[in-house]
Amino acid sequence: MENDSRNPNSSITIDETNPLTSPSRRRSGHRVEWPTIDGPLGLSPEDSLPYARRFFKLGFLCLPFLWAINCFYFWPVLRRPQSDPLLRRYLFGSAIGFLLFTAILLSWAFTFAIGGDHLFGHVWEELVMYNVADRYGLTGWM
């Protein structure tokens, strides 16, 4: 670390190893591309692939919200077409999986919320869970 050479009275130090504050980065205009939303505090490009793969595979174990976390955390990779193709493959798979899960969950919820007795007829009484205590006689003891 050294003092800023442009202003001898400056007490600001510049870390030459930090790609965000080094003078060579500022002069060249080259942007550092980070694979995660937290930039230099996040994962390196080499460490990103195992995490994305792990979140993608765990999403199939009835944890589809990990797919959403995967897409959110690696959002810069989804936005850049020139990113690592294998990493993008896991992220697009996570995005498609989460969208499918959301569509199925919402269709199920709206079917029961809107359809109800009109849609299912007499079978509705067997499908709903709010009358379980009455059905098994669990309310008479109180």
Res 54: pLDDT: 94
pLDDT digits (tens, 9 = 90+) for 55-95: 999 999 989 999 999 999 999 888 888 888 899 999 999 99
Dihedral in degrees, nearest 10, Cα atoms 37, 40, 43, 46:
120
- Rounded CA-CA distance 90/54 in Å is 9
Res 25: pLDDT: 46
Listed by start position, the domains of the chain span 1-32, 33-135
Residues linked to residue 13 through DSSP beta bridges, in sequence order: 3
DSSP H helical ranges for 1-142: 23-28, 45-58, 65-73, 75-79, 85-110, 116-120, 124-127, 132-135
**Range scoring the smallest mean pLDDT among 79-83, 109-113, 122-126, 127-131:** 127-131
* Cα first-last separation, the chain: 75
What would the two tokens of residue 65 be? 């919200």
Res 122: pLDDT: 83
pLDDT digits (tens, 9 = 90+) for 25-38: 444 455 667 788 77
pLDDT digits (tens, 9 = 90+) for 1-56: 445 455 555 555 555 565 555 554 444 455 667 788 777 888 888 888 999 999 99
H or E stretch including 13?
Answer: strand 13-14
What would the two tokens of residue 133 be? 């205590």
Res 92: pLDDT: 94
Res 29: pLDDT: 54
DSSP H helical ranges for 74-131: 75-79, 85-110, 116-120, 124-127
